[in-house]
Amino acid sequence: MNNIQKSIIQLRDVVKAYATGDGPFVALSDVTLDIRLGEFLGITGKSGAGKTTLLNMISGISELTSGEVLFHGSSNGSPASDASAVPIHTLDEDKLALWRGENLGIIYQSFELMPSLNLVDNVMLPPDFLGGYHPITSKARALELLELVDIVEHAYKIPAHISGGQKQRVAIARALVNDPPLIIADEPTGNLDSVTAETIFQIFEKLVDQGKTIVMVTHDESLAPRFTRRLHIVDGVVGSPPKNGSVPVSPTAATIAPITGQEPQAALDAAAPCGEPVEALTEPQQDHPAIDLRGVDKVYENAAGKFVALKNVNMQLNYGQFISIVGKSGCGKSTLLNMITGIDHPTAGEVIVGNECIYEMSESQRALWRGRNIGVVFQFFQLLPTLTLLENTMLPMDYCKVYPFYERPDRAMELLKMVGLEEQAHKLPASVSSGQQQSAAIARALATDPALILADEPTGNLDSRSAENILNLFEQLAAEGKTILIVTHDPSITQRTDQTIILSDGEIIDQTVARALPFLSHPQMLATTHQAKKQEYTPQATILHQGDSVEHLFMIVSGEVEIVVNNEQSNEMSLACLGPGQFFGEVELTQGGDSIASVRAAKRGAEVALLPKETFYKLVDGSPLTRSAIEEVAATRRAENQSRRKTD
């Protein structure tokens, strides 16, 4: 019999019910399930459906109300046909802990690393607890696993000095340290960028090929075709996926699509005639910006040396904008949010929020200021477990003494209704799903009606419908004048925001570069940001003469430029007008020859970023998608130029 036909875990008529003030809440209902050795089992379902509860039953973390959970196989490995099933549900805490340590790797939604230990020591914790710690071999195993999840260069940092996505990778390494036959993972890729998530998923696939069994909970329907088997859970009942469910999307689509908040062709096509309105990168709406960062650095120091999290960040964001922050794990996104909220101190530079220099305040003053002016939504909600969702939502009002006491319950209930939780208002956080807890955290962030909302992956643990509701709410709040700043790895979210800030290695990528060359990788964009020099041109000033040698790719930062040519009768004709995020000079750089047209600043003048041609050639050589897109535009523009010369 093949391994995949044998069961490693069996659930028989499993019921899990929680006692609440309104009576029992049934989280799992008569679940009977065989998990087969060597399979990659995906479990999908909406928030509150019972996915996490099901994992807790398999791992023995939570007591079942009735039924059986049986483990088949010898300790830490090969199943034996004559091995007696281990009734997990009957083991006491000590035996359960030993069984889990030998046979189970668990990857939680919220990594749960020890903050005072470096990454190597965190990975070595399970064998240490089991009495299997050996200084040399355990350390070598930890380093091997950190390399497997592509984070070994940070091995001796503490968790506070790495990003959320990197912490999740450490948690995965730790789950593998005892080489368990069974791995259960609760949304392990939910907070990772698409490239890192794909790396982790490929690691799981390799482990399955090696005979391990993996049970993974996810909201991502695009992963469905890649599981060996997929089950769907609805209201605690496990079954087959719905036939009319979401259409899976290619898992590689997110890694190919540009993450600039616009369609790539929009940055390449010719603009409307000069004089027509052209969308600017930002439009000021008040006499001061909502957020103003000036030369901000953040450097962490530990025994391993210095780690630069932010480097010379300059940024101005206006009121009434919905803004996304993107970048790979470890690029500095969460650190940037910590600077803006006053949670962490910059090493250098100024942070001005709402016209207040927030680091000139004392800690207590800044805490009160933050409560009244900023709503913060963390990756992992941080609700107080002994308070109901309604009471959690009222907390900021109580702390900051806003709204009359008798109005606070009604306002909290209205906010919970906005995020779809009015029916759960009087439940404790432990009685609702992770996704519902995140929705409650968003309601709490809105409690004092702050001008700024900062959210770190707020939809990462939500099903698609709940996520859509939250994004609609953010768009509505931005339209009402609030500034919404959201950290995300999801390209579909950046397409809905007014502006996208891209971070790479602690630096902000220039928006003009991101808009003009959206197919470059983030490191390539950052290199382009460093190389492109900006220059301002007064109205009607000539930037490039027809017949001149072209030594740069010209990217428009602001204003407009007019493209003009002389026809065979030497009459001047206007071909097009280009605006922010567009470029010129690509025809000559890709097809050779001198400038086929003249370019001059339009009536309002223009600012242009000049990228040296040597750097341009290196970039397109390293980015086939960029080369293809630019060559297509160059061919179209040359054809239009030649056609206009003959007809006019």
Residue 94, exposed/middle/buried by CB under 10 A (0-12, 13-18, 19+)?
exposed
Lowest mean pLDDT among 241-245, 341-345, 391-395: 241-245
In the predicted structure, residue 385 carries a pLDDT above the cut 60: yes
Instruction: Determine contact, residues 440/396, Cβ cutoff 8 Å.
Output: no
Q: What is the pLDDT of residues 125-181, one digit of tens each?
A: 765 444 454 555 678 888 988 888 878 888 888 877 777 778 878 888 888 888 889
Angle between helices 434-445 and 464-479 (to 10 degrees): 10
Residues 343 and 296: their CA atoms lie apart, in Å, by: 15
Lowest mean pLDDT among 43-47, 440-444, 598-602: 43-47
Kindly state the average pLDDT of the residues 566-585: 80
Tokens 């800044």 — which residue?
A: 366
Tokens 């570069």 — which residue?
A: 513
Kindly state the average pLDDT of the residues 328-355: 88
pTM for the structure as a whole: 0.61
Q: What is the pLDDT of residues 619-644, one digit of tens each?
A: 999 999 999 999 988 888 888 777 76
Beta bridge mates, 537: 606
pLDDT of residue 35: 93
- Going 630 to 634 to 635 to 636, the CA torsion angle's sign is positive
Lowest mean pLDDT among 178-182, 254-258, 335-339, 461-465: 254-258
**Sequence-ordered alpha helix ranges (H) in 532-623:** 586-591, 613-621
In the predicted structure, residue 496 carries a pLDDT above the cut 50: yes
Kindly state the average pLDDT of the residues 24-53: 86
Say how many C-beta atoms besides its own lie within 10 A of residue 530's C-beta: 12
Q: State the pLDDT confidence band at 569, using cuts at 50, 70 and 90.
A: low
Residues 496 and 483: their CA atoms lie apart, in Å, by: 14
Q: Which domains does the chain have, with CATH numbers?
A: 3-239 (3.40.50.300), 291-508 (3.40.50.300), 530-647 (2.60.120.10)
pLDDT of residue 280: 38
> Two tokens at 379?
């990756």
In the predicted structure, residue 23 carries a pLDDT above the cut 70: no
Q: How are beta strands 499-504 and 322-326 bridged, if at all?
A: parallel
Q: State the pLDDT confidence band at 328, using cuts at 50, 70 and 90.
A: confident
pLDDT of residue 206: 84
pLDDT of residue 570: 63
Please name which of 184, 174, 185, 127 lies closest in space to residue 151, comparing C-alpha atoms: 174
- How far is residue 44 CA from its own chain's centroid? 20
Question: What is the residue type of 270?
Answer: A
In angstroms, the Cα distances linking 111 to 321, 379, 418, 540, 558 are: 32, 11, 29, 58, 44
Residue 98 φ/ψ, nearest 5 degrees: -65, -45
> Two tokens at 315?
């940024």
Q: How are beta strands 237-239 and 66-71 bridged, if at all?
A: unpaired
> Two tokens at 84?
């007696």
Please name which of 324, 424, 329, 336 lies closest in space to residue 383, comparing C-alpha atoms: 424
Kindly state the average pLDDT of the residues 335-341: 89
Residue 343 φ/ψ, nearest 5 degrees: -75, -35
Q: Residue 513: helix, strand or coil by DSSP?
A: helix
Please name which of 126, 57, 66 lies closest in space to residue 88, comparing C-alpha atoms: 57
pLDDT of residue 247: 36
Q: State the pLDDT confidence band at 262, using cuts at 50, 70 and 90.
A: very low
Residues 483 and 321: their CA atoms lie apart, in Å, by: 5
Question: What is the residue type of 220?
Answer: D
Q: Going by C-beta distance under 8 Å and a sequence separation of 6 or more, which residues neighbour residue 94?
A: none
Residue 273 DSSP label: P
HSE-up (13 A, CA, CB side) for residue 460: 27
Kindly state the average pLDDT of the residues 516-521: 90
Q: What is the pLDDT of residues 61-119, one digit of tens each?
A: 888 899 999 998 754 444 444 457 889 989 887 788 788 878 888 887 666 677 767 88
> Two tokens at 297?
């650095």
Question: What is the residue type of 336?
Answer: L
Please name which of 379, 408, 584 lies closest in space to residue 489, comparing C-alpha atoms: 379
Q: What is the pLDDT of residues 269-307, one digit of tens each?
A: 444 456 544 343 344 446 788 999 999 999 988 666 788
Higher pLDDT: 191 or 55? It is 55
Mean pLDDT of the chain: 81
In angstroms, the Cα distances linking 427 to 23, 24, 34, 391 are: 11, 12, 32, 10
Residue 410, exposed/middle/buried by CB under 10 A (0-12, 13-18, 19+)?
exposed
User: Apex CA 590: angle with CA 586 and CA 592, to 5°?
Assistant: 105
In the predicted structure, residue 215 carries a pLDDT above the cut 90: yes
In Å, the largest CA–CA distance within the chain is: 95
Q: State the pLDDT confidence band at 608, using cuts at 50, 70 and 90.
A: very high
Residue 139, exposed/middle/buried by CB under 10 A (0-12, 13-18, 19+)?
middle
pLDDT of residue 41: 94
Residues 489 and 537: their CA atoms lie apart, in Å, by: 37
Lowest mean pLDDT among 435-439, 527-531, 555-559, 625-629: 435-439
Top-ranked range on mean pLDDT: pick from 93-97, 466-470, 596-600: 596-600
Instruction: Determine contact, residues 551/612, Cβ cutoff 8 Å.
Output: yes
Tokens 């070994």 — which residue?
A: 152
Tokens 């009459």 — which residue?
A: 571
Residue 328 φ/ψ, nearest 5 degrees: -70, 160
pLDDT of residue 648: 55
pLDDT of residue 272: 46
Kindly state the average pLDDT of the residues 257-280: 42
- % of the chain residues with pLDDT over 70: 83
Say how many C-beta atoms besides its own lie within 10 A of residue 569's C-beta: 7
pLDDT of residue 9: 92
pLDDT of residue 192: 66
Residue 12 φ/ψ, nearest 5 degrees: -125, 110
Q: What is the pLDDT of residues 227-248, one digit of tens each?
A: 999 998 888 888 877 654 443 3
Residue 404 φ/ψ, nearest 5 degrees: -60, 150
Residues 108 and 19: their CA atoms lie apart, in Å, by: 24
Q: Going by C-beta distance under 8 Å and a sequence separation of 6 or more, which residues neighbour residue 405?
A: none
